[in-house]
Amino acid sequence: MIADPLSIDSRLLDEFQHDFPLDPRPYRCMGERLGISEAEVLERLQRLQQQGLISRVGVVLRPRRVGISTLAAMRVPPESLEAVAEVVNGFHEVNHNYEREHAFNLWFVLTARNAERMAEVIESIEQRTGLKVCCMPMEEEFHINLGFRIHG
């Protein structure tokens, strides 16, 4: 019996949001658990990203444990929002971004290895977009579980 491909995609997204293998070959480990090859895991993740169902696969570090992070916001003309979001998403240091109904309508979390790299990314975003980035470093830590079930 062949497994339902949607079921495998759902399991891939569900089972590894918080349980990503700490292994030199994590995608091989994921494949073993799902009953598919390492190459198929990578192909599925690439397809899901191309379809816009996931934005990235990567670590989100707890603030101030490794590196430095900030919440950032920008005032973006509505007609430029998608283009500016694409620029922001082009940096590996950006965990996620989202639109808000506010004068500052594009928000994102930026995590960098150090303050110098964070300043470089912010300056690059400002140069590429022509817009100012407002940074709001964390004063008090809160943990919000951003994972959610895809299957069942």
Same domain assignment for residues 28 and 77 = no
For residue 23, pLDDT over 70 is answered with yes
- Report helix angle 5-15 to 26-34, nearest 10: 130
Asked if residue 144 belongs to a domain, the reply is: no
pLDDT confidence of 151, banded at 50, 70, 90? low
- Supply the mean pLDDT for the chain: 85
Q: Residue 23's domain is classified under what CATH number?
A: 1.10.10
Region 15-36 average pLDDT: 89
Range of the domain at 102: 68-136
For 87-123, the pLDDT digits (tens) are 999 998 998 788 999 999 999 999 898 999 999 999 9
| Confidence (pLDDT) at 1 | 40
Q: What is the model's pTM? A: 0.59
Count the neighbouring beta carbons within 10 Å of the beta carbon of residue 135: 13
| Residue 95 falls inside a structural domain | yes
The average pLDDT across 81-85 equals 95
Q: Looking at residues 14-31, what average pLDDT do you find?
A: 87
